[in-house]
């Protein structure tokens, strides 16, 4: 897939499912549970031990899904993630070396930022989408406020996104959203309650579609 095709798919699906875990056990099954619920854009974070190897495993086992690597802080990790099959790279903050590496690789990069100054700086570095993080402190109205002076900057709120507010984030101008613990709860992941995760994914997918 080309960069534009990957970004178009993220925009169309509207919700990136973010998986954070203490270890790699059963994360393939978690990814399958999310997919069964209608969410196929999945971000595996580097805070999970063995995340790059897991990215390769999930990408191979689920070719229909769009697997990304998150919490990427340096260029080497971005390159290794892309080589392992990551279709997109996500940072939690403004990381110029990561953006530069992704542009060289032709891989979409979603760069973390919060304030107007950070958001503009990240966009000018060349991120494809600005990950507004943590979004729960300002809510959907913040996206609308940022889009006022920066209408061309694509924004993806992350943190605090729920089935109750995902549509409002989108209606206020979000390119897409990303959901972590509100979607994949640590309790459900630890219990391997895949049915609960699938049901939660369905709720997110339905709410996003309603936008």
Beta pairing partners, 13: none
Q: Is 119 helix (H, G, I), strand (E, B) or coil?
A: helix
Tokens read off for 202: 């369905």
Q: Domains of the chain by range and CATH?
A: 3-209 (3.20.20.70)
Question: pLDDT by residue (tens digit) across 100-115?
Answer: 999 999 999 999 999 9
Out of 131, 144, 154, 187, the active site residue is 131
Backbone dihedral angles phi then psi of residue 18, each to the nearest 5 degrees = -105, 120
Active site residue 124: no
pLDDT of residue 22: 80
- pLDDT for 25 equals 79
**Secondary structure of the chain: what % helix, strand, coil (to 5)?**
45, 15, 35
Residues 45-101: tens digit of each pLDDT: 999 999 999 999 999 999 999 999 999 999 999 999 999 999 999 999 999 999 999
- Tens-digit pLDDT profile for residues 4-59: 999 999 999 999 999 988 878 789 999 999 999 999 999 999 999 999 999 999 99
- What is the Cα–Cα distance from 178 to 71, expressed in whole angstroms? 13
Please confirm, yes or no, whether 3 is among the known catalytic residues: no
Which among 43, 97, 118, 144 is annotated as catalytic? 43
């Amino acid at each position: 897939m080309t960069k534009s095709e990957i970004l178009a798919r993220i925009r169309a699906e509207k919700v990136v499912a973010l998986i954070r875990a203490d270890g790699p056990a059963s994360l393939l099954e978690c990814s399958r549970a999310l997919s069964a619920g209608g969410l196929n854009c999945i971000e595996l974070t580097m805070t999970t031990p063995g995340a790059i190897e897991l990215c390769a495993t999930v990408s191979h086992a689920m070719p229909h899904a769009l697997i990304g690597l998150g919490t990427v802080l340096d260029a080497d990790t971005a390159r290794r993630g892309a080589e392992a099959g990551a279709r997109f790279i996500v940072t939690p903050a403004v990381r110029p070396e990561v953006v530069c590496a992704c542009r060289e690789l032709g891989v979409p990069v979603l760069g973390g930022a919060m304030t107007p100054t950070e958001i503009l700086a990240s966009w000018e570095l060349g991120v494809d989408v600005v990950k507004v993080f943590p979004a729960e402190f300002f809510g959907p109205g913040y996206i609308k406020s940022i889009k006022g002076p920066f209408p061309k900057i694509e924004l993806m709120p992350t943190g605090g996104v729920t089935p109750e507010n995902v549509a409002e984030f989108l209606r206020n101008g979000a390119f897409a959203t990303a959901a972590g613990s509100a979607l994949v709860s640590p309790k459900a992941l630890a219990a391997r309650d895949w049915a609960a995760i699938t049901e939660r994914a369905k709720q997110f997918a339905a709410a996003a579609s309603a936008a």
